[in-house]
Amino acid sequence: MKPRISLRVADSRSQEFVPPLACLLDRPGSQEAALSARAILERRDLLELSRADPLELAAELELDRASAERIAAAFVLARGLAREHRPRRPRVRTPEAVFELLETRFRGLEFESFVVLTLDGKHRLRRLVPVSTGTLQTSLVHPREVFRPAIREAAAALIVAHNHPSGDPEPSAEDLEVTRRLRQAGELVGIPLLDHVVVGEQAFVSIRERDPTWAAGGASPSREPQVRSSG
């Protein structure tokens, strides 16, 4: 495009759109691209640009075809983003909530699956991350793999869970050892492990509730240790 050079842009708000628009033009980052972007915004506002056909943009604004198509594509993406709605994130504050979230996921599996739930400061679910499948072992469920997504996402806390294909959610010695190591790691990195929930067939166990010192020192209320049924 041959820019009609003018240091005036239509309004002050348009000024902030000059750099991103220049990135869509030929030779992004150059002074020529910046001047061309200014000239475009003097002749068309963003609403007009968003509605224009690439061929129309190329002809009227003396743009090369590729630049015009990039501008049009950027507005297609923007319209798509405007239609997107972030799904409501459930609060995961209790073992019951963990069970409700995962029971369908685990149902019918013939192998153990270990997942991490990363949470924000209000215990809303940020992400569910599969960590391992197979028999639960300390070598497979390493604190590094568990806390990596939590650290990356700046999670405030996390909950872990896994299933027992047998249908019996009673924690094994291995389950308890994995939990102990993860609690220690959480204390070191400053992201507390709130619970480890073992899911069986229409029942679950909160390992947090099996440890009186853990339950007494954390946010969840202490309850009598028991296998919980979903029914």
Domain CATH number, residue 221: 3.40.140.10
Closest CA to 217 of 199, 195, 185: 195
Which segment of 1-15, 144-158, 179-193, 195-209 scores lowest on mean pLDDT?
1-15
Domain shared by 39 and 128, yes or no: no
The whole-angstrom separation of Cα 1 and Cα 25 is: 9
Query: Alpha helix locations (H) across 120-172?
Result: 143-152
Contact 105, 117 (CB under 8 A): no
Residue 89 placed within a domain = no
Domain shared by 113 and 22, yes or no: no
pLDDT band at residue 155 using 50, 70 and 90 as cut-offs: very high
Whether the model clears a pTM of 0.85, i.e. scores above it, the answer is no
Residue 219 has pLDDT above 70, yes or no: no
Domain shared by 109 and 53, yes or no: no
Query: Alpha helix locations (H) across the chain?
Result: 12-15, 18-23, 31-43, 46-51, 54-60, 65-83, 95-106, 143-152, 173-189, 207-210, 212-217
Tens digit of pLDDT for each residue in 20-46?
A: 888 888 777 788 888 888 888 888 888
Contact 199, 106 (CB under 8 A): yes
Number of domains in the chain: 2
Closest CA to 136 of 91, 171, 84: 171
pLDDT band at residue 150 using 50, 70 and 90 as cut-offs: very high
Domain shared by 121 and 161, yes or no: yes
What does the pLDDT read at residue 10? 46
Q: Is 120 helix (H, G, I), strand (E, B) or coil?
A: coil
Query: Tokens representing 121?
Result: 């400061």
The whole-angstrom separation of Cα 152 and Cα 13 is: 34
Domain of residue 145, residue span: 95-229
Domain shared by 125 and 210, yes or no: yes
The whole-angstrom separation of Cα 4 and Cα 41 is: 11
Q: In what order do the strands lie in the sheet with 125-133?
A: 125-133, 113-119, 157-163, 193-199, 203-206, 228-229
pLDDT band at residue 208 using 50, 70 and 90 as cut-offs: very high
Domain shared by 192 and 133, yes or no: yes
